[in-house]
Amino acid sequence: MLSYRHAFHAGNHADVLKHLILLQIAEYMGEKPAPFWIIDTHAGAGRYALESAHASKLAEYKDGIGRLWEAKGLPPAAKDYVEMVRQLNPDGKLKHYPGSPWLARQMLRDSDRLRLYEMHTTDARLLLECFKGTGREVAITDGDGFIGLKAILPPPPRRALVLIDPSYETKSDYTAVVKALQESLKRFPTGTYALWYPMLSKLESRQLPDKLKRLGASNWLHATLEVKAPARDGFGMNGSGMFIINPPWTLEKKLHETLPKLTELLAQGDGAKYTLESETT
């Protein structure tokens, strides 16, 4: 797991889905006066230079945020997401991409807090540099976010968004996310949890959504975006999903408006599609 560097994939189609949803949830939480926290268990470096050796090696951003950069007629949620990325590129040229910590920070008010965890030593250092000079509203821990959740939940304001998006490089990550959500829901059942996962041919990836649905959460929303059909050889990621527990009531409608256009813009071949399902009991 410690070999994973998100810089290779910054701004790709999976980031588009994940970060668009992150912004929509944070915006909703900010509409109420009570303070809230955003907790990111696998924060990464905070922001990424798209012309760096890491990002330019695969240049996945060209088929992600790059396709939306000059697109016309974007749905409101997609437009808001692109405008947020533009804040990091004031000259209008797409050279930098914000990670979830940077995006989350932009959505906080003075009373809100951001709590970040990152295990990779290089990315943890870059994360500290990204938020250098920031006051107590941002706290960064060089360590395991799964362990961190046990100590931090429930948060003092009793309002929080928990973003969970490990690398899934090992089978243990699939087990860990389910266990983390089980334990977190016991400590903080009213929290909003947003779990990202890759859509791969491996069994663990295909079984994960059903395991999440069986957690017993009374209110969940599950969105997937596939940019192409799975490869015949079984290699590679053809899409990704977001499983949100206790989502804002407005989110499903916004995704219904947004996902068709995203699928059209981000398609990389036959088989591009999206799904959206929910349950409230």
- Please list the active-site residues: 165
d(CA 125, CA 196): 24
**Peptide bond before 155: cis, by omega within 30 degrees of 0?**
no
Task: Give strand pairing partners of 38.
Answer: 114, 161
Q: Under a CB-based contact definition with an 8 Å cutoff, are residues 116 and 101 in contact?
A: yes
> Which two three-digit tokens encode residue 126?
């870059």
Selection from 94, 93, 85, 78 nearest residue 264 by Cα: 78
d(CA 260, CA 265): 9
How many degrees, rounded to 5, is the angle at CA 148 between CA 129 and CA 4? Answer: 55
Query: How do beta strands 37-40 and 160-164 pair?
Result: parallel
Q: Under a CB-based contact definition with an 8 Å cutoff, are residues 273 and 240 in contact?
A: no
> Which two three-digit tokens encode residue 264?
């059209």
Selection from 212, 264, 267, 202 nearest residue 242 by Cα: 212
Query: How do beta strands 160-164 and 192-199 pair?
Result: parallel
Q: Under a CB-based contact definition with an 8 Å cutoff, are residues 116 and 130 in contact?
A: no
